[in-house]
Amino acid sequence: MHGSGIPIWFFIGVLLLIYGLMIFGYGVFEALIGPLAPVELNYLHTPIWWGAILAVIGLLYVVKFRPGRAGK
Amino acid sequence: MFGLIPASLAAASPLPALLAFSAAPLAHLRPLDIAVIAIYFGMVVWIGFYLKGKSNTSEEFFMAGREMTAWIAGLSFVSANMGSLELMGWAGSAYQYGILATHWYWVGAIPAMLFLGLVMMPFYYVCKTHSVPGYLDLRYGGHARSVAAFSFAIEMILMSGVNMFAMAVVMKVVLGWDITFSIFVSSIAVALYVGLGGLRSAIFNEVLQFVLIWGGALLVPILGLAQAGGVSGLKRQIMTNMQSMTGVSSDSYFHLWRDTSHFAANPMGVHWTGIVFGLGFVISFGYWTTDFLVVQRVLAAHNLRAARMAPIIGSFFKMAVPFIVILPGLLGLVLLQNADGSRRQLVGEDVVAACSLNSSGQVAEQGGCTAAMAKTNLSPASQQKVMAGGDDAELHSYNQALPLMMVRYLGPGLLGLGITALIAGFMSGMAGNVSAFSTVWTYDIYKPLINKNGSDSHYVMVGRMAIVVGVAVSIGAAYLVMHAHGIMDYVQALFSIFIAPLLAVILFGMFWKRATRLAGFLGLLLGIIFSAGLFMWVKLTPDALATVALSPDAKPMAENVFRALWAFIFASVLVVVISLLTKPRPVAELEGLVYGATKLPKEDPVPFYKNEYIWAVLVVIIFAALNILFW
């Protein structure tokens, strides 16, 4: 958004960070005790790396677009 | 959001047919998935309450304060056409017709998006109109505006209802959720966040939806390609089994243009003239340059350069969408399996409906089901299983290709993210329709026809009430569609009936100083009547399809594009003839509205990487390369 206030990118960052941490956490849990759902390519541990990617992107957006940072 | 109807929907029985097949849900959500969905709902309501304080004036509420950056306006612009029904429908079309479905993303979008940004946007932006009917008002007067405004308002509200119902059906089929639960939860959320934050809230949620769709759906083609052995492996497997899988004996599945010189030479039954002139020009230009739902997003940009850049930014992402839509459809052809390991063959929704089960789990009408399956490529063993009934019948429609691929690869959490992306797609579709309805109702119907002298806060209040009433009417429309399935066909046709004459009237209005008020009004009104007449002719007399599409081999998809083409030509001829017979407006009155009578504002010089023409050239190069690569 142009102008003052919380940018949309901050909201997106928060959502991606929360989702990324949840999915990454489940991926680690699954890697330790075995898969809970019979999906294909389980051995690739998709939740771990995809969750990590989402969390890192989310964190970058949260930091870069955090409220009050605009104009600094 | 039904702007460009997926082939698998247009060519088959309507979506409600899915309800007839009472099979078990495709997916089972776990607590982690439910948490992902709940967090999304919490986020959109938070955004709505946060933006309420920034939506106090009419300019803020209806036009998002005209302060969106090019990126936000661009992503919102392209996201407005990424509804879940489109994503699922086009994945199903790719399964059914191959990469021909990609035309609706490339030639059916990119040229029009560039034309909007580079050529038309200055006129929309300079005249400071708040809507497309508003432009017609300035150019042709109140009669043309009223025809467009009432058509838009009815179309938007009915489509919102259809979107609502479509979401409820998909949630019922994929997750087993109750129809009424889905309708009311989504309606309350949409009414809350759009009613509070206006257009700004709708745009924010569209950008959010865009990110969720990529975050939730991108894994499907990545993992699918990994399992299929890459693009070459996918191609080899489809080619090897082409005849048994698809009934097509050539490699037409992998060519965009090569086999379009005759209707019968390609699986979709279309001709290149229809693709180029009907889809690539009339339908695409009509949708991307005159449909208020998408144009409204760009009008909210903070300056002219941002308004011009927005569609160009959007076009880059539009070209990439086939990766998460078309590719999963093709991968579904070779990777989807039944529980016993055999290849899963998807069928049309008419077949699914014909084989619906009764309360005891048996096929209700054995004769109808047998006849319907005989027209498919289902193996005899699969047909026997379906006839035997039970949970392993495994009869799924083309439109379920994308959710089936999600269920195949996405475990807890990731599946929740994928489902959230679908829900977000439906909800932002509804929000887009309702916010556009609110603007058109307030500015183009209420203000000029009912109360001209209201205060600014009064019109904001009217806009908020229009959203609540619009959502309520949409709920009614959703239940109407549920109980009278055939209505969905008519609602989906509204767009194509209306958009072709509108395009003709706006193009002549914007680029021909001689076009007169009466010509604009009659061109639009009679053009809509002509287009509706063609639709009803084919509806009541299916044989008329061969006449409308100029070939006995034409399939329903060809009817859409050719009807639009004839309606555009009809309206254009009317505008030209009537204009030449009536007195034109003085050129001085056309300042800011018409090419040749408008002095466009000079834009400040910018570095080359911020120049819209440089980016547009890059889009053209990539667009040409993709079409040659997949020729």
Among B30, B215, B223, whose Cβ lies nearest the Cβ of A46?
Answer: B223
Reported as a pLDDT band with limits 50, 70 and 90, residue B14 is: very low
Kindly report the nearest CA distance between residue A64 and chain B, in angstroms.
16
Q: Which residues in A have their CB inside 8 Å of a CB on B? A: 1-3, 5-6, 8, 11-12, 14-16, 18-19, 22-23, 26-27, 30, 35-37, 39-42, 44, 46-47, 50-51, 54
More confident residue, B38 or B252: B38
Q: Cα angle vertex B480, ends B23, B10, to 5°?
A: 65
Average pLDDT over residues B529-549: 88
pLDDT of residue B544: 85
Q: With contacts defined as CB-CB under 8 Å, which chain B residues touch A6?
A: 50
CB within 8 Å: A2 and B302:
yes
Reported as a pLDDT band with limits 50, 70 and 90, residue B9 is: very low
Q: What would the pLDDT profile of B141-155 be if each residue is shown by its tens digit?
A: 999 999 999 998 988
Q: In which residue are the tokens 């911020």 written? A: B610
Tokens of B223: 């993992």
Backbone angles phi, psi at A42, to 5 degrees: -55, -30
pLDDT of residue B348: 80
The whole-angstrom separation of Cα B436 and Cα B454 is 20
CB within 8 Å: A37 and B226:
no
Backbone angles phi, psi at B357, to 5 degrees: -95, 150
- State how far Cα B254 lies from the chain centre: 24
Strongest mean pLDDT among B16-25, B267-276, B551-560: B267-276
pLDDT of residue B391: 60
pLDDT of residue B246: 56
**C-alpha distances in angstroms, B92 versus B115, B272, B350, B421, B511?**
29, 22, 14, 17, 39
State the average pLDDT for chain B: 85
Tokens of B470: 């619009």
pLDDT of residue B38: 93
The whole-angstrom separation of Cα A15 and Cα B317 is 21
Q: Which residues in B have their CB inside 8 Å of a CB on A? A: 30, 32, 35-36, 39-40, 43, 46-47, 50, 54, 65, 67-69, 72, 200, 203-204, 207-208, 211-212, 215, 219, 223, 226-227, 302, 306, 407-415, 417
Q: Which residues of chain B are in CATH 1.20.1730.10 domains?
A: 7-337+403-493+600-629
The burial of B514, by beta-carbon neighbours within 10 Å (0-12 exposed, 13-18 middle, 19 or more buried), is given as: middle
| Contact predicate A60/A13, CB 8 Å | yes
**C-alpha distances in angstroms, B105 versus B118, B260, B310, B375?**
19, 17, 17, 29
Q: Does A47 score more than 50 pLDDT? A: yes
Query: What number does CATH give the domain B7-337+403-493+600-629?
Result: 1.20.1730.10
Q: Does B248 score more than 70 pLDDT? A: no
Q: What would the pLDDT profile of B103-128 be if each residue is shown by its tens digit?
A: 989 999 999 999 999 988 888 888 87
Among A18, A26, A54, whose Cβ lies nearest the Cβ of B32?
Answer: A26
Reported as a pLDDT band with limits 50, 70 and 90, residue B379 is: confident
**C-alpha distances in angstroms, B310 versus B15, B131, B299, B305?**
33, 17, 10, 9
Among B54, B67, B208, whose Cβ lies nearest the Cβ of A11?
Answer: B208
pLDDT of residue A4: 57
Q: What would the pLDDT profile of B463-510 be if each residue is shown by its tens digit?
A: 999 999 999 998 998 888 777 666 666 776 777 788 889 999 999 999
Q: With contacts defined as CB-CB under 8 Å, which chain B residues touch A14?
A: 43
